[in-house]
Amino acid sequence: MWWHVLRLTPGWAAGYLLGSTVAAAASVALPAVAARATDGITGDAPGTGYLALLVVLVARGAAELLAAVTREAVLAEATQLRRGQVLRHLFSLSWADLRRRPVGDLVGRLVDDVPQSVGAAIAAVDTAVAVATSCGGLALLFLLDPLLGAVFVVGVLPAWPALRVAVRRIGVAHGEYQRVLGAIAARLTDAVSGGRTIRAAGSAAREMARVLAPLPALDAVGQRIWHGQRVVSWQNELVLTAARVGVLAVAGFEISTGRLSGGDFLAASLYLSLALALPGTVDSLLALARMAASTRRLAEVTSQAPQPVGGPAAALPPGPGAVSFQRVTVRAAGRTVLDNLELTVPPGVALAVVGASGSGKSTLTALLGRLLDPDDGRVLIDGVPVDAVSTTVLRREVAYAFARPALIGDRLGEAIGWGRPSVTAADLTTALEVAGAQTFVRRLPEAADTRLAAVEFSGGELQRLSLARAVAHDARILVLDDATSSLDTVTEAQVTTALTQRLRGRTRLVVAHRAVTAARCDLVAWLDGGRIRALGPHAHLWATDPAYRAVFGRDLSAPAP
């Protein structure tokens, strides 16, 4: 993690390293200089050493100030930039990988684990400096008087293995604590998104109990963490106090025997403080263990391989939008969704994709724009495999409208043109007309310039705006994944007619659940058992196959002529 921080904020990180290093070096040099100055005062040695003492104190103070200022700058800037990196990585994952993780859990990792992991990098440097300072102080204590060094080692080192075990256990417990906290956040996110259903069912109390069900487990883990910290803290303080008393007692005895001078005693006490720098920072070590647990949690996400961005093709060759699925197989959640599927879509047609729930309709259409990659087989547009085309190009050539769309942007016009900065006012007007959204958009306070935060849209209005966004992209292939499910019958008929008539010549794949929608398309691809069971006009399939009619359940809409 430290290398991430160093790359993100090289200037501030270098200043922090410089300040920490100089402060540590000045701290190690201070005892000897202070001893010389003390002996000069008491007359135990010639020379005063006042100037050297002043220089060391000033250098240490300036270095500590530099380290403190740059440390905060590193934490603030690196956290911001690291969040951006993690967010970009999340968006680079495939749709299948991303939807496996609850939104609340991802938000927790992004909001909480990122600053903790950056803090872990800083804490690791602090620990390294403490180790170097402690080792330097212990070495100089041995040089001053080997007996004092031996007393310190005998007093402190036996407690070190127990401290390591305790820190490791607390780190593991903190990781478990974060996982349980993430589960609560995920449940809360689900509950908020389904708030209308919860309110309508009168199940708020039951849902509250479900969201907070992991709290006892969270409390148990938290109690375990605090109990471990309490035990480690008092045991460590007891050991350090005993070591400090032992070393100073021996040093005092040696002063009485004349082996040490007053300056040597001062140096020994200062070297002792340096030697205790690492074992004396138990709280810092425990915080580092917690931060390391957050870093590991973050790595669970960032270590996921992003979806390949495709080949070097800068554009698809000119073509009418022919689509071909060749022996495509997709597996998910232990089952085969699409099984060796073969399908060729003629260019410029409107193809309805129908089938029972769970038959793989959305999976099939997701393959076209590489929202999902097949486990086997190939998907081609105008003879070019989609994985040979860069993702940026593919997004321009395949436009989607979904059943539950999200509007992204500040203003409505920006949201409709999202992903295509070159969209003009004329393009926007045409797209709204085709999607049947022009009427209600005109009634908004500022029409297409209305801020999204100032208005709330119904489900049907959102779907029509999503259709307008897909149309505005002017892609050669348009995919409507159940994108008219929230429209009333009359509005859906108007929108479907506009999509099939005004966009004639553009290839359209329409995931259809209503017979009337399938009837307005040129062809129907009937998915059953992971394969194409039939391909043909809706009227023919409706008239000749009762099983096809059963796909639509009680929807007995007559086929269009």
Candidate from 168-182, 245-259, 488-502 with smallest mean pLDDT: 488-502
CATH number at residue 497: 3.40.50.300
Does residue 486 surpass a pLDDT of 60? yes
Assigned domain for 296 exists: yes
Assigned domain for 315 exists: no
Give per-residue pLDDT as tens, 38-84: 766 665 555 556 677 778 888 888 998 998 899 889 888 888 888 88
Task: Report the pLDDT value the prediction gives residue 119, as an integer from 0 to 100.
Answer: 84
pLDDT band at 164 (very low <50, low <70, confident <90, very high): confident
Q: The dihedral of CA 444, 445, 451, 453: what is its sign?
A: negative
Task: Report the pLDDT value the prediction gives residue 561, as an integer from 0 to 100.
Answer: 45
More confident residue, 193 or 372: 372
Q: Are residues 175 and 250 in the same domain?
A: yes
Task: Report the pLDDT value the prediction gives residue 143, as an integer from 0 to 100.
Answer: 87
pLDDT band at 279 (very low <50, low <70, confident <90, very high): low
Task: Report the pLDDT value the prediction gives residue 155, as an integer from 0 to 100.
Answer: 79
Distance CA 191, CA 194 (A): 5
Q: What is the mean pLDDT of residues 387-401?
A: 85
Assigned domain for 510 exists: yes
pLDDT band at 537 (very low <50, low <70, confident <90, very high): very high
Task: Report the pLDDT value the prediction gives residue 558, as an integer from 0 to 100.
Answer: 47
Q: Are residues 290 and 373 in the same domain?
A: no
Assigned domain for 558 exists: no
Assigned domain for 204 exists: yes
DSSP string over 486-503: TS-HHHHHHHHHHHHHTT
Does residue 262 surpass a pLDDT of 70? yes
Q: State which of 299-313, 463-477, 489-503 shows the largest mean pLDDT.
A: 463-477
Q: Are residues 435 and 404 in the same domain?
A: yes
Q: Are residues 386 and 237 in the same domain?
A: no
Q: Are residues 254 and 358 in the same domain?
A: no
More confident residue, 18 or 395: 18
Q: What is the mean pLDDT of residues 245-255?
A: 87
Assigned domain for 559 exists: no
Q: Which helix (H) or strand (E) holds 15?
A: helix 10-42
- Give the domain-ending residue among 239, 272, 302: 302
Candidate from 221-230, 334-343, 381-390, 481-490 with smallest mean pLDDT: 481-490
Q: Are residues 383 and 466 in the same domain?
A: yes
Task: Report the pLDDT value the prediction gives residue 538, as an integer from 0 to 100.
Answer: 93
Task: Report the pLDDT value the prediction gives residue 509, as an integer from 0 to 100.
Answer: 92
Q: Are residues 212 and 85 in the same domain?
A: yes
The rounded mean pLDDT for the chain is 83
- Give the domain-ending residue among 271, 302, 333: 302
Q: Are residues 146 and 75 in the same domain?
A: yes
- Give the domain-ending residue among 272, 302, 332: 302
- What residues have CB less than 8 Å from 473, skipping those under 6 apart? 396, 399, 419, 420
Report how many domains make up the chain: 2
CATH number at residue 48: 1.20.1560.10
pLDDT band at 230 (very low <50, low <70, confident <90, very high): confident
Task: Report the pLDDT value the prediction gives residue 48, as an integer from 0 to 100.
Answer: 54
More confident residue, 81 or 497: 81
Amino acid letter, 376: D
Assigned domain for 317 exists: no
Q: Are residues 282 and 392 in the same domain?
A: no
More confident residue, 315 or 215: 215
Q: Are residues 344 and 298 in the same domain?
A: no
Q: What is the mean pLDDT of residues 318-331?
A: 90
Q: Are residues 334 and 297 in the same domain?
A: no
Task: Report the pLDDT value the prediction gives residue 381, as an integer from 0 to 100.
Answer: 92
Assigned domain for 316 exists: no
pLDDT band at 526 (very low <50, low <70, confident <90, very high): very high
DSSP string over 155-224: HHGGGHHHHHHHHHHHHHHHHHHHHHHHHHHHHHHHHHHTHHHHHHHT-HHHHHHHHTTTHHHHHHHHHH
Q: What is the mean pLDDT of residues 137-156?
A: 86
Q: Which domain holds residue 356?
A: 323-551
Distance CA 321, CA 367 (A): 15
Q: Are residues 376 and 270 in the same domain?
A: no
Task: Report the pLDDT value the prediction gives residue 281, as an integer from 0 to 100.
Answer: 63
Q: Which two tokens stand for residue 30?
A: 């201070």
| The model's pTM | 0.65
The answer to whether 392 touches 311, Cβ cutoff 8 Å, is: no
